[in-house]
Amino acid sequence: MSGREQGVCGFRYGRKVPGAKTRNTLRYDAIVLSGGEGTRLGGVDKAMLEVGGVPLLDAAIAATTAARNTVVVGPTRPTARAVIWTEEEPTGGGPAAGIIAGLTALAGQRSTNEWCVVIAVDQPGVAHVLPTLLDAAAHTTPEVEGLCPHDSRGHEQWLLAAYRTQPLRAACEDLGTGHNVSVKRLVSDLRVEQISAPLEHLGDINTWADHEAWSTRARS
């Protein structure tokens, strides 16, 4: 595995960003993938796109406040709290490469936490879905290696999911840097269980129509 780790930094905004509410005390790390190019949005930086007045990156970081380590994979940007920054090398390798870079950064922190949540930055509903993921991880059986919700069309949300860290690392071992590898292939040998999550909070932002739909929902 490889990645260019940039260290820990963060900047404070004046406003508060709500975090995910959960009662369990599961020890976990978080990898937030924020390096997408946003081509269908005209090249806009998705991470800084606002929904409900909050940048998507801040929303994802706020949702993972309880994580022992939060790694953001992508260019360094202003954030509401300090995080660990890293990037895949070369950049633009896709989400699997981002996951591998994130795991490398966690290894650099000597993390031994059993679970890792993987979050794409363009998932506005993360604060509502993450408590369900963490609760399921805290109560699942030992043979389960991943937990993944499905959206209303039955599509797996691999980038809003929880994985046992060691099996996820093992799945990455033969993929090199992970560039241009699909996440579906990366997780194909893991024992992943579907979980039920509120469908209205599942989905990402790929187009301006998606952004408008999520913004309308945030205003209601």
Per-residue pLDDT of the chain (220 residues; tens, 9 = 90+): 545 555 544 433 333 334 454 445 799 999 999 977 667 787 788 999 999 999 999 999 999 999 999 999 999 998 888 999 999 999 989 999 999 999 999 999 999 999 999 999 999 999 999 999 999 999 999 999 999 999 988 999 999 999 999 999 999 999 999 999 999 999 999 999 999 998 999 999 989 999 999 999 888 7
Q: Cβ contacts of residue 176 below 8 Å, gap of 6+? A: none
Q: Cα dihedral sign for 150, 84, 121, 26?
A: positive
Q: What is the pLDDT of residue 40?
A: 76
- The pair of structure tokens assigned to 153 is 């069309």
pLDDT for position 9: 45
CATH 3.90.110.10 fits 4-215, yes or no: no
Phi, psi of 155 (to 5 degrees): -85, 135
Asked if residue 85 lies in contact with residue 40, where contact means CB atoms within 8 angstroms, the answer is no
What pLDDT is stored for residue 10 in this prediction? 41
What local confidence, expressed as pLDDT, does residue 219 receive? Answer: 84
The structural domains of the chain, with segments of one domain joined by +, span 4-215
Q: Which residue has the tokens 């093992």?
A: 170
Q: Are 106 and 163 in contact (CB under 8 A)?
A: no
Residue 4: CB partners within 8 Å, gap ≥ 6?
Answer: 86, 87, 88, 89, 101
- Read off the DSSP letter of residue 156: B
Residue 166: what are its φ and ψ, rounded to 5°? Answer: -65, -45
Structure tokens at 147: 């937990």
Rounded to whole angstroms, how far apart are CA atoms 13 and 155?
Answer: 35
